[in-house]
Amino acid sequence: MENFHYLGKKVNAPSKQLDTFPKPVNVQTVKFESNELTSVCPVTHQPDFNTVTIEFAPDKLCIESKSLKLYLWSFREEPIFAEGLANTISEDIFTAVQPFWCRITLVQNIRGGMQLSVVAEKKAVAFLREID
Q: Is the Cβ–Cβ distance between 99 and 58 less than 8 Å?
A: yes
98 occurs within a structural domain: yes
Q: What is the DSSP string of 71-100?
A: HHHTTTT-B--HHHHHHHHHHHHHHHH--S
Question: Global pTM?
Answer: 0.88
Q: Is residue 77 part of a domain?
A: yes
> Could you list the residue range(s) of the whole structural domain that residue 89 is in?
20-131
Q: Is residue 90 part of a domain?
A: yes
Residue 80 counted as domain residue: yes
From 26, 9, 29, 8, select the one nearest 97 (Cα to Cα).
29
Q: Is the dihedral of CA 126, 16, 53, 111 positive or negative?
A: negative
Is residue 1 included in any domain, yes or no?
A: no
pLDDT at 126 over 80: no
Backbone angles phi, psi at 91, to 5 degrees: -65, -45
Whether the predicted pLDDT of 78 surpasses 90: yes
| Residue 13, domain member (yes or no) | no
Instruction: Give domain status of residue 52, yes or no.
Output: yes
Q: What is the largest distance, in Å, between two alpha-carbon atoms of the chain?
A: 47
Cα-Cα-Cα-Cα dihedral of 78, 103, 100, 79, to 10°?
Answer: -10
Total structural domains within the chain: 1
CATH of the domain at 114: 3.30.1130.10
Per-residue pLDDT tens over the stretch 84-123: 999 999 999 999 999 999 999 999 999 889 999 999 999 9
24 found inside a domain: yes
Residue 48 known to be catalytic: yes
Q: Which of the following is catalytic: 19, 48, 62, 102?
A: 48
